[in-house]
Copies of this chain bind each other. A is one copy, B any other.
Amino acid sequence: MSSLAGCPLCETPGGAVVFEGHGFRVVRAQEPNLPAFWRLIWTAHAREFSDLPAADRHRVVDALVCIEEVVRARLQPTKVNIASLGNVVPHLHWHVIARFDWDTHFPSPVWCEAQRAPDADRLAQLSARCDQADALIAQALAAAQPDQTAF
């Protein structure tokens, strides 16, 4: 199916759109304490990663790596987390999150309880660099994927 009535990721962007095309969109999650948090959302409603044909799966993974490479180069995170969970919203989406040893949740996953209070100064600096990363991610994805058929 291409879209599912009532599915939040069929009916809303799921974040601030950074790139759209080639069967998916990349958004930045609007998490004030975790600004370096991107999502790749498959446009059509699919439940599991294995529901996609192999070529589409490789396209998704190449895009995740493209995001990771920009994030590593621009933000120098302690670690990058990549995950497709979907227990609450079972529409295929991947999280790419740059983690820092000072962030509110490190080393726990971002979905668990916070470990410490936010560091306002570092968050402000990181947020500004994430805005720059957004533009670079959009450029890199557009350059890597000049059109849908030749991807």
Q: Say whether B112 contacts A82, CB under 8 Å.
A: no
Q: Is A39 part of the binding interface, using a Cβ–Cβ cutoff of 8 Å?
A: no
Closest to A73 in B: B50
Q: CA A88 – CA B112 in complex, angstroms? A: 14
> How many A residues touch the partner, as a band?
20 to 34
Q: Say whether A65 contacts B57, CB under 8 Å.
A: yes
Selecting from A18-26, A101-109, A119-127, A130-138, the interface stretch reads A101-109
Add 11 more A-B contacts to A48-B68, A58-B58, A83-B83 (CB < 8 A): A48-B72, A49-B80, A50-B80, A57-B65, A79-B86, A79-B87, A79-B90, A81-B84, A82-B83, A108-B112, A112-B113
